[in-house]
């Protein structure tokens, strides 16, 4: 796996890079659609291909629960199982373990939890989580971490941070001695909740372990936007410039712009697809609630500035009609458009960085989405 900086504005953190895996070259800043269970809801792989994504995200916890690693192993990995050829990043499942399962119990060597599907008891160690991702065939693997919610007492955040670092050390040792580093990269996850000193300490101690890349976890868990921005602004200067930086679970245009401005390279979030299924669509002039009665006889395109299949072929009135009628097609068209928007949005940001126009593009989108 290779990472190179194409354009770096030394006056600020903003940068355009390339991350090359064994399967594709990923131009950053990049948004990664979420295929939690090995599929992006309402879309086919052909749709994802036509939009132009070079990387998507799946989840170790959910793949482990269903269909299970034995099925994935027999299939020859998740790429073959879902017939997907480009790069695949898998989250460790730590967030899901702590947010979905009941009777979750953290131990020194891992975490014990109940399945959200059938209540069966399981135990994840840092090593086991990587072994599952080895079976999956992930191009980029995430280590097991302890994610905390908001709000939280500092002593509890510090305990979770220490657990995260301890598990990261075990993960790195296992990765160094068991994995083909040319085929699979491994990212550490920086925790510390909304405490800047804990975040900085966590980052510094993880950087010493020399992972392939570094992710910022534990944001977008209910904290005010001011805290998200404060953590982002204060943490990014402490991350190595020669490694990819991934902000987990962030997908709104303005939050992405703020994070890119401070040097984040990679993003993922279910929000663009989730709100699409609920009738909220991103456009070049702002958000549109396609359920609104004002679109009943609006025969203009969803977005006149968007060249996607949906905008070129269907009116707002038609999109409203099929949504109100409960047609599955509505979910497909809405999801396709929102992901197309995200791809074009990220491409425009990247081009503006390379051309030295980022501040101009930042102002444009802030005016539209503020």
pLDDT in tens, 291-324: 999 999 999 999 999 999 999 999 999 999 999 9
**What pLDDT, on the 0 to 100 scale, is given for residue 99?**
86
DSSP code of residue 238: G
Average pLDDT score over residue span 255-276: 97
Q: 3-class SS at 4?
A: strand
Q: Please tell me the distance from the alpha carbon of residue 63 to that of residue 55, in angstroms, as a whole number.
A: 18
Residue 334: is it exposed, middle or buried by C-beta count within 10 angstroms (0-12/13-18/19+)?
Answer: buried
74-122 per-position pLDDT tens digit: 999 999 999 999 999 999 988 899 888 778 999 999 999 999 999 999 9
| d(C-alpha 171, C-alpha 143), whole Å | 6
* Res. 127: pLDDT tops 80: yes
Q: How far apart are CA 260 and CA 358, in angstroms?
A: 10
φ, ψ dihedrals at 136, nearest 5°:
-60, -35
In sequence order, the β-bridge partners of residue 17 are 5, 28
Which residues are known catalytic residues?
91, 268
Strands (E) across the chain are located at 2-8, 15-20, 25-28, 30-32, 55-59, 87-91, 105-107, 110-114, 121-124, 140-142, 185-190, 213-216, 245-247, 266-268, 280-283, 286-289
Least confident of 47-51, 56-60, 147-151: 147-151
Average pLDDT across the chain, whole number: 96
Q: What is the reported pLDDT for 221?
A: 85
Strands 213-216 and 185-190: parallel
Determine the 3-state secondary structure of 47 from DSSP.
helix
Which residue in the block uniquely carries the two structure tokens 């190595």?
240
Residue 51, C-beta contacts closer than 8 angstroms, at least 6 positions apart: 308, 336, 339, 340, 343
User: 107: which DSSP letter?
Assistant: E
Residue 74 burial (CB count, 10 A): 10
Query: Would you state the pLDDT for residue 10?
Result: 67
**pLDDT attached to residue 103:** 80
3-state secondary structure of 343: helix
Q: Which residues pair with 3 in a beta bridge?
A: 19
| Cα atoms found within 13 Å of the Cα of residue 262, Cβ hemisphere only | 20
Select from 137, 135, 110 the least CA-distant residue to 121: 110
Give the DSSP H or E segment for 163: helix 154-178
């Amino acid at each position: 796996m290779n990472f190179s900086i194409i354009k770096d504005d030394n006056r600020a953190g903003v940068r355009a890079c390339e991350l090359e895996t064994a399967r594709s070259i990923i131009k950053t800043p990049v948004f990664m659609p979420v295929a939690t269970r090995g599929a992006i809801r309402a879309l086919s792989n052909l749709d994802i291909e036509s939009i132009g994504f070079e990387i998507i995200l799946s989840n170790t916890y959910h793949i482990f629960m269903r269909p299970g690693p034995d099925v994935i192993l027999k299939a020859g990995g998740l790429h073959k199982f879902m017939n997907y050829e480009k790069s695949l990043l898998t989250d460790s499942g730590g967030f899901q373990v702590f947010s979905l399962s009941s009777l979750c119990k953290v131990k020194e060597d891992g975490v014990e939890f109940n399945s959200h599907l059938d209540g069966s008891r399981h135990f994840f160690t840092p090593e086991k989580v990587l072994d599952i991702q080895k079976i999956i065939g992930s191009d980029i693997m995430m280590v097991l971490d302890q994610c905390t919610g908001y709000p939280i007492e500092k002593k509890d955040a510090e305990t979770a941070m220490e657990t995260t670092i301890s598990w990261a050390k075990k993960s790195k040792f296992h990765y160094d001695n068991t994995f083909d580093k040319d085929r699979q990269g491994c990212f550490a996850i920086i925790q510390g909740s909304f405490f800047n000193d804990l975040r900085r300490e966590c980052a510094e101690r993880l950087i010493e372990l020399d992972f392939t890349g570094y992710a910022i976890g534990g944001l977008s868990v209910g904290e005010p936007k001011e805290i998200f921005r404060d953590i982002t602004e204060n943490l990014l200067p402490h991350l190595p410039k020669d490694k990819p930086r991934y902000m987990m679970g962030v997908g709104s245009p303005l939050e992405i712009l703020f994070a890119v401005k401070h040097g984040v390279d990679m993003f993922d979030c279910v929000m663009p697809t989730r709100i699409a299924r609920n009738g909220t669509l991103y456009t070049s002039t702002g958000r549109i609630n396609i359920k609104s009665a004002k679109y009943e006889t609006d025969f203009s395109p969803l977005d006149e500035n968007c060249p996607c299949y949906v905008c070129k072929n269907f009116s707002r009135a038609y999109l409203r009609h099929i949504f109100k009628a409960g047609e599955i097609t509505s979910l497909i068209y809405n999801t396709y458009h929102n992901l197309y928007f995200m791809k074009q949005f990220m491409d425009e940001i990247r081009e503006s960085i390379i051309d030295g126009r980022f501040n101009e593009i930042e102002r444009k989108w802030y005016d539209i989405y503020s």
